[in-house]
Structure 1
Amino acid sequence: MRIVPMPESLLRAGQPLPISLRDGRGGLVVARGTLLPAGADVRALLRRAAWADADEIDSWQRKGRVAHPARQTSGPRAGDADAAHWSGLPARANRVLREPADAGFLAALTQLHDELLDRLDHQPDKALMALIRLASASTDHYSATHGLLCAAAAALVARQLPGWSAADCRSASLAALSMNVWMTALQDELAKQRAVPSVAQRAVLEHHAHGSAKLLRDAGVDDAHWLEAVEHHHDSVSGPLAPRSKGRQMARVLQRVDLFTARLSPRRTRPAMSAAAAAQAAYQGEDGRPDEAGMLLIRALGIYPPGCLVRLATDELGVVLRRGAKANLPQVAVIADSAARPHALQTCRSVTEPIKAALAPHELALDLPLGELLSLAQR
């Protein structure tokens, strides 16, 4: 049996369970067809059993039962299997990152990382779109979702650096995934908190880079570059990368990636920013000049990365599906006309004229099922 994460979106209080819930070893916990009580705590249920049989999911999807409730479509979509995977990934990452003292932590972390990078290698635009859509949609599992997106972005940036080996690139993306492991719970808490951080919370924030490096070292990490990158990922020193040690180069990449991706995610005290605003923050260093690591980030992801919302030169509204030949000319699915009347998601269009504006998620309140977007991106 091959088990995969059970997406929380598939569990609805007051309705029968569409797929059996299983534990981490594949053992049956709640059978398919069991009626979830109207007041069922779905998240509490997922803490006991967060997995499902992949074959059972595939069979269910083939029967056409994965229709998005807001659209009431009939028949399965090609992107639903991908959507189920990506939707369940933050919860899985959250479970790993919240238990750094667990005996199996390092093995679980590297397995999570390698699965993420495998998908990124095979379909980078789909991976970026899924992660950016998830990061911009909710504050749930904020820290884990942020870590996954940072790892993907860091991997793409690292591959552009001359002289970096495959091992160096792996160290950088592992560091990005684990750089906040000392404060996973606090990051989640702060994402939902309206009040300013308390004195105790600020102390954790100020020392989390050192604390994360120590936790990783205690867990068995002996990669000096990985540890140095984590320990210094909040250093705010702009300028060229070449004079720095390999670990400090990685740290600077992480600092820019962290800055960029954090702005794409909402918090209780502010909405997510547009991709253009996030790109501007990463591009310009602390000295007010273009930053080398920031420029590499924009080159890798584009000014308008997959998953971001844009207003085209025609005033139509779209979501970016794939990066284009140039950072400012992505491939876009038109989702609404100039009056914001929704279009059916049918085609991907290469942008030939400059994007008129990047939009923050809260500026366009349209239903965009992840499965449909992933399916369209695959064409």
Structure 2
Amino acid sequence: MLLAQGHVIHNDTQLETLLERGMFVDMEEYKAVEALQEPEAKPAISLYNRWTLAIDALEVILPHFSDAPDGLDAIHALADEILELANADADLGLFMAIRQDQAKHLRYGYSHAVHTAFLCGLMTQQLHWSSERTRLITLAALTMNASIAELQTHMAAQDYPALDRQRAQIRLHPEHSVALLEKAGVADSEWLTAVLQHHEQNGGTGYPKGISTVSEAAQVLRMADVFIARITPRQLRQSLSIQDAARCMFKEDKGGPLSMAAIKVLGIYPPGTS
């Protein structure tokens, strides 16, 4: 029997009992027993595996996020994870986005959103956006295609051109994705506008509304979206090289600050290029 520190022995009987049983403990024995009682520390998950798990998570969350009680919280947590991974090792994130195996088109709708979110985060940091706005564009990228993620995955793997009904779904998906976000409780106007306008173009040649003035967040989202799509292989076409995709981006943006931010992030020879 051991006494707690500060415990007072009240009588001779207690003292005799302690003397008979022993008042002291062998510290080495105590430490050994204590070590056995401590739970084993879980091995740390590598950054590489965390990128894969991020895609896994979006595949689980996105199809039902507007109905699930914690769906929006899960989207927020995933955005934080992507930003944390980007800050921990941006080169690895670029490698994961660039070195995509064609077999990965089996999850294209989800991997594309994760890689686009990552690139948006890097671009907006380069543009010196606040951390709040950088987080917001990451959220927008994860949810921009919420209404067609499964369709995108199917189309990336199909060996025939897009059907008319598929094209119609694609054309309407910004509005449908916004409707899902609003149903989930999103009220942030910049987030909703970025998703709604991420296929619009200044000059009125985009969709779904053909507006001529597009928000800055939507422009960033569109640029990252198109760039990641161009460097990702699909069943019917090969991917562009990073350099060719960057040239297209620079030309379309007329060398503006958004394309320059993306090029600065990517560098001349990004990780994963040869």
Give the shorter-chain TM-score range. Answer: 0.7 to 0.9
**1 CA distance for matches of 2:79 and 2:184?**
16
**Which residue of structure 2 aligns with residue 97 of structure 1?**
62
The equivalent of 1:197 in structure 2 is 162
> 1:133: which partner in 2?
99
Which whole-Å deviations, capped at 9, do the CAs of 1:267-292 have from their partners, x for residues lacking one? 11012221111111211117xx3243
1:154/1:92 CA distance change after superposition, 3 Å = same
- Name the counterpart of 1:255: 222
In the alignment, what sits opposite 2:200?
Answer: 235
Cα pair 2:156 2:235 within 8 Å, conserved: yes
1:81 matched to 2:50? The reply is no
Offset of residue 222 of structure 1: 1.4
Report deviation, 1:232. 0.2
Residues 115-130 of structure 1: pairs in structure 2 closer than 5 A? 115-130=81-96
Deviation at 1:176, TM superposition (A): 1.3
Q: Which amino acid aligns with 1:209?
A: P
User: Is residue 66–residue 181 contact of structure 2 (8 Å, CA) maintained in 1?
Assistant: no
Unaligned stretches of 5+ residues in structure 1 = 1-52, 60-79, 239-243, 311-379
> Is the counterpart of residue 209 in structure 1 residue 174 in structure 2?
yes
CA distance in 1, matches of 2:225, 2:167: 18
- 1:54 positional shift: 8.9
- Work out which of the residue numbers 254, 264, 272 in structure 2 matches 1:299: 264
The alpha carbon displacement at 1:198 in A equals 1.6
Determine the structure 2 residue equivalent to 1:219. 184
Q: How many aligned residue pairs are there?
A: 226
Letter in 2 for 1:172: I
Letter in 2 for 1:144: Y
Q: Deviations over 1:215-260 (max 9, x none)?
A: 111111111111111100001227xxxxx99x81010011111111
Per the alignment, residue 171 of structure 1 pairs with: 136
1:108 maps onto 2:63 in alignment: no
More strand by percentage: 1
Which residues of 2 match residues 266-277 of structure 1 at below 5 A? 266-277=233-244
Q: Do 2:250 and 2:256's aligned partners in 1 also have CA atoms closer than 8 Å? A: yes
Query: Given that residues 191 and 267 in structure 1 are in contact (C-alpha distance below 8 angstroms), is that contact kept between their aligned partners in structure 2?
Result: yes
Taking a change above 3 Å as real, the CA distance of residues 304 and 99 of structure 1, as seen in their structure-2 partners, is farther
CA distance in 2, matches of 1:102, 1:112: 17
Q: Distance in 1 between matches of 2:113 and 2:269?
A: 20
Contact 1:87–1:134 (Cα < 8 Å) also in 2:
no
Q: Secondary structure at the match of 1:141?
A: helix
Which secondary structure does the structure 1 equivalent of 2:173 belong to? helix
Q: Which residue type is aligned with residue 235 of structure 2? A: R
Structure 1: how far apart are the matches of 2:101 and 2:60?
Answer: 17
User: How large is the RMSD of aligned CA atoms in angstroms?
Assistant: 2.4
- Structure 2, unaligned stretches of length 5 or more? 1-39, 204-211
Letter in 1 for 2:150: A
Structure 1 residues 178, 303: closer, same or farther in 2, change over 3 A?
farther
Point out the structure with the larger helix share: 2
Kindly report which structure 2 residues correspond to 1:279-318, keeping only aligned pairs within 5 A, or say none.
Answer: 279-285=246-252, 289-307=254-272, 309-310=273-274
Q: Partners in 2 of 1:125 and 1:102 — Cα distance?
A: 35
Q: What letter matches 2:201 in structure 1?
A: S
* Structure-2 change in CA distance of 1:139 and 1:259 (3 Å): same
- Quote the residue 1:341 is aligned against: none
Deviations 1:183-236 (A, max 9, x none): 001000100012222221111100111111111111111111111111000012
Bigger Rg over Cα: 2
C-alpha contact (below 8 Å) 1:284/1:291 kept by paired residues: no
Higher relative contact order structure (alpha carbons within 8 Å, sequence separation ≥ 6): 2
Distance 1:81 1:259 in 2: 29
* Secondary structure of the structure 2 residue equivalent to 1:159: helix
Structure 2 counterpart SS, 1:304: coil
Which amino acid in the other structure matches residue 75 of structure 2? Answer: L
User: Contact 1:135–1:146 at 8 Å: present in 2 too?
Assistant: no
Q: Displacement of 1:112 after TM fit?
A: 1.0
What's the CA shift for 1:140?
2.2
Q: How far has the Cα of 1:165 moved from its partner? A: 2.1
User: In 2 relative to 1, CA 221–147 (structure 1 residues): closer, same or farther, beyond 3 Å?
Assistant: same
